[in-house]
């Protein structure tokens, strides 16, 4: 009985030690992924802002051009779009620029901006050191992230963004409540952020063996997490620790958690004492008592093992169900606490992903709104075309993934007009052939704006090709028939319908039935017949209602209502000049 109990103890001891290490690994990986995700989101925002600045400035931010209201508005919108961005600046090739934010750079931050500007001139992005701005309760740990603004291989300037790392400190404090001591260091072992005041930003942490291991690994540690046992010496006292570091993929950082080994393996030691005592009593008393005692030990341990395995596999909803007031019960309570903390971390990651998605969509709507605001005749045009396009695609039975692509592409289908001169965009009446040639470049301009953003690759055909015609008379490439993808075909029908039912400088809005007749006359010639049929079906069910404004300089308002049973009216034959309709509706 004694040897049997010792064997069970040994097996479960190794399992518990492994699970404790897996739990530390999970916590560090969760924090590292959160930091990496936020860094990628910020880089995407900077890339979008750089593209918008290039288009809005026409590739010229020299001299006083950098201080135009349009560029200042884009910079202020960028700062206000995220709580993590505390300050942003745009510097041109002459080191002149503009800034916006809720903090003022101190001398250290100004010096970091100098380094960032030098990197930008070499065409490199830059991540600065963690710095503390302010003092006392107003002190904040920040980091400078910058990117160069290039146009056709030419250096235009630099966008610098100061990120508030308060979100990271809050996450570290949450981990600290679970019994672990967390902190983040850079590739040289300097402290980025910690959970408690004794961990000061910039502090040299290489006196700890686990930090030295990370620093010595260098580039080899980029994708490898490691758990180590090491000693921490304070004066004459040496404490054995168990710690884990996990590198942050897109930064030269590492997230580290540590815990005294006696605390980490407390359950193991308690298990050893209890198991040996019960085994000895079983040998001394009787075979029956020994069997009872062995089951009393092994059953709770098996429950702990199964629960800890489930937690290590990622099932953080698992709880240890043990009604015990012994040390094993305390160990079970500790596991439950840690699993609750890990469950909160997973929820935080999901919430952060949702916030990043909302931030991404907000950036898209900001770009579309900037285009619509250039001309009162097209205000709201992008939103209406987006609603119509999604309705048409849904009526055609397209999957949800395709509907999301349609939604984003339609929202941005006219983003290239941000680069069209106002004298052409706002001109009342028909355009000259030369002006119309300039207007037609908005499709390729829009595609070029979004092409650097890899996440928007699938949306580019809807932006570049929504003015192509089935008969090959469209632009910019003159594609025909099946050469035109489904995405731009859907947007073309929605764009034509909105152009016909809203007041424009060159025409009054058509009645809806007249607009549908014109669209049907273009079906199979310029517009996709299936998409036209889908639009007509949606309208006949009453899901689209058009209310024309009283004043000609207001855009038509389209509202989506609950489906209403509306009888399909008889549509008499009318003769329509399809070529003329194509020219007029293709302008916007």
- Which pLDDT tens digit goes with each residue over 521-537? 999 999 999 999 999 99
pTM of the predicted protein model? 0.46
Cα separation, 492 vs 526, in Å, equals 9
In DSSP notation, 552-573 reads: TTSPPEEEE------PPPP---
Q: Please give the pLDDT value at position 577.
A: 36
Q: Which residues contact 313 (CB under 8 A, 6 or more apart)?
A: none
The dihedral of CA 364, 368, 370, 373: what is its sign? negative
The answer to which of 29-38, 67-76, 201-210, 555-564 has the lowest mean pLDDT is 555-564
Looking at domain 373-586, its CATH superfamily turns out to be: Hypothetical protein af1432 (1.10.3210.10)
How many Cα atoms sit within 13 Å of 373 on the Cβ side? Answer: 8
- Range 168-197+210-264 has CATH code 3.20.20.70: no
The answer to which of 78-87, 117-126, 151-160, 378-387 has the lowest mean pLDDT is 378-387
Strands 253-260 and 181-186: antiparallel
Percent of the chain with pLDDT over 70: 75
Q: Please give the pLDDT value at position 506.
A: 66
List b or e across 210-226, with b for residues whose CB sees 16 or more CB atoms inside 10 angstroms.
bbebbbebeeebeeebb
**Which ranges in the chain are annotated with CATH 3.30.450.20?**
58-164, 168-197+210-264
The CATH architecture of the domain made up of 58-164 is 2-Layer Sandwich (3.30)
- Which one is predicted more confidently, 362 or 305? 305
If DSSP codes are grouped into helix, strand and coil, which group holds residue 304? Answer: helix
Q: What digits encode the pLDDT tens for the residues 333-385?
A: 776 777 777 777 777 776 765 666 566 666 666 666 666 666 655 667 888 99
Per-residue pLDDT for 221 more than 70?
no
Q: Please give the pLDDT value at position 445.
A: 87
Q: Which residues contact 306 (CB under 8 A, 6 or more apart)?
A: none
Region 477-485: mean pLDDT is 91
Cα separation, 179 vs 175, in Å, equals 7
Q: Please give the pLDDT value at position 138.
A: 77
Angle (CA) 265-266-270 rounded to 5° is 120
The answer to which of 78-82, 171-175, 427-431, 561-565 has the lowest mean pLDDT is 561-565
Region 206-217: mean pLDDT is 87
Cα distance between the two ends of the chain = 87
Cα separation, 493 vs 538, in Å, equals 13
CB-based contact 336:305 (threshold 8 Å): no
CB-based contact 19:311 (threshold 8 Å): yes
Alpha helices in 98-165 (DSSP H): 107-121
How many Cα atoms sit within 13 Å of 543 on the Cβ side? Answer: 16
Cα separation, 212 vs 245, in Å, equals 11
Per-residue pLDDT for 28 more than 80?
yes
List b or e across 173-192, with b for residues whose CB sees 16 or more CB atoms inside 10 angstroms.
ebbbebebbbbbbbbebbbb
CB-based contact 334:48 (threshold 8 Å): no
Q: Which residues contact 185 (CB under 8 A, 6 or more apart)?
A: 191, 192, 205, 211, 214, 253, 254, 256
Per-residue pLDDT for 485 more than 90?
yes
Respond yes or no on whether the N-terminal peptide bond of residue 476 is cis (omega within 30° of 0).
yes
CB-based contact 100:69 (threshold 8 Å): no
Angle (CA) 545-383-550 rounded to 5° is 50
Q: Please give the pLDDT value at position 304.
A: 67
- The H or E element spanning position 127 is strand 126-133
Question: Model confidence at 320, in pLDDT bands (50, 70, 90)?
Answer: low
Cα separation, 109 vs 132, in Å, equals 9
**Which ranges in the chain are annotated with CATH 1.10.3210.10?**
373-586
Q: Please give the pLDDT value at position 553.
A: 43
Tokens standing for 306? Answer: 């199964």
Cα separation, 447 vs 416, in Å, equals 7
How high does pLDDT run on average in the chain?
79
If DSSP codes are grouped into helix, strand and coil, which group holds residue 251? Answer: coil
CB-based contact 212:189 (threshold 8 Å): yes
- Residue 560's DSSP bridge partners are 544
Tokens standing for 305? Answer: 């093992």
282: closest CA among 586, 565, 4, 541?
4
């Amino acid at each position: 009985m004694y040897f049997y109990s010792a064997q069970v103890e040994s097996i479960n001891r190794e399992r518990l030690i492994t699970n404790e290490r897996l739990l530390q690994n999970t916590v560090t990986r969760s924090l590292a992924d959160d930091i990496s995700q936020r860094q990628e989101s910020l880089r995407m925002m900077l890339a979008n802002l750089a593209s918008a600045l290039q288009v809005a400035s026409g590739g010229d931010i020299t001299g006083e051009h950098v201080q135009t209201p349009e560029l200042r508005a884009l910079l202020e919108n960028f700062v206000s779009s995220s709580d993590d961005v505390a300050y942003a600046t745009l510097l041109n090739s002459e080191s002149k620029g503009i800034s916006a934010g809720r903090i003022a750079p101190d001398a250290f931050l100004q010096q970091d901006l100098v380094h960032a500007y030098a990197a930008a001139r070499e065409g490199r992005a830059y991540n600065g050191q963690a710095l503390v701005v302010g003092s006392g309760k107003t002190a904040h740990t920040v980091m400078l992230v910058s990117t160069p603004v290039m146009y056709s291989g030419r250096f235009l300037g630099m966008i610098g963004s100061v990120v508030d790392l308060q979100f990271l400190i809050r996450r570290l404090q949450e981990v600290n409540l679970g019994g672990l001591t967390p902190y983040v260091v850079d590739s040289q072992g300097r402290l980025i952020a910690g959970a408690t005041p004794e961990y000061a930003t910039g502090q040299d942490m290489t006196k700890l063996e686990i930090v030295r291991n990370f620093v010595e690994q260098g580039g080899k540690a980029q994708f490898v997490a490691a758990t180590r046992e090491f000693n921490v010496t304070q004066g004459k006292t040496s404490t054995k620790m168990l710690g884990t570091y996990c590198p942050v993929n897109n930064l030269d950082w590492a997230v580290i958690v540590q815990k005294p080994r006696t605390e980490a393996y407390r359950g193991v030691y308690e298990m050893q004492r209890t198991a040996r005592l019960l085994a000895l009593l079983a040998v001394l008393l009787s075979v029956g008592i020994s069997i009872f005692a062995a089951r009393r030990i092994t059953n709770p341990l098996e429950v702990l093992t199964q629960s800890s395995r489930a937690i290590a596999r990622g099932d953080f909803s698992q709880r240890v169900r043990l009604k015990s007031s012994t040390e094993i019960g305390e160990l079970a309570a500790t596991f439950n606490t840690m699993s609750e903390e890990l469950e909160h971390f997973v929820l935080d990651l999901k919430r952060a992903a949702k916030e990043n998605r909302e931030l991404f969509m907000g950036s898209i709507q900001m770009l579309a709104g900037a285009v619509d605001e250039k001309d009162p005749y097209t205000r709201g045009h992008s939103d209406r075309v987006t609603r119509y396009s999604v309705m048409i695609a849904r009526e055609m039975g397209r999957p949800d993934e395709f509907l999301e692509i349609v939604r984003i592409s339609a929202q941005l289908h006219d983003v290239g007009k941000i680069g069209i001169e106002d004298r052409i965009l706002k001109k009342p009446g028909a355009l000259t052939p030369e002006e119309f040639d300039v207007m037609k470049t908005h499709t390729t301009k829009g595609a070029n704006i979004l092409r650097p953003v890899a996440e928007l690759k699938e949306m580019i055909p809807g932006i570049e090709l929504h003015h192509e015609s089935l008969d090959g008379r469209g632009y910019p490439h003159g594609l025909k028939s099946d050469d035109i993808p489904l995405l731009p075909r859907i947007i073309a029908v929605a764009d034509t319908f909105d152009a016909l039912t809203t007041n424009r400088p060159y025409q009054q809005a058509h009645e809806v039935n007249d607009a549908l007749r014109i669209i049907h006359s273009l079906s199979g010639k310029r517009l996709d017949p299936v998409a036209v049929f889908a639009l007509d079906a949606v309208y006949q069910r009453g899901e689209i209602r058009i209310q024309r404004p009283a004043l000609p300089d207001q855009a038509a308002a389209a509202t989506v209502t609950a489906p209403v049973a509306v009888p399909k009216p008889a549509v008499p034959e009318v003769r329509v000049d399809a070529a003329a309709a194509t020219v007029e509706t293709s302008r916007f």
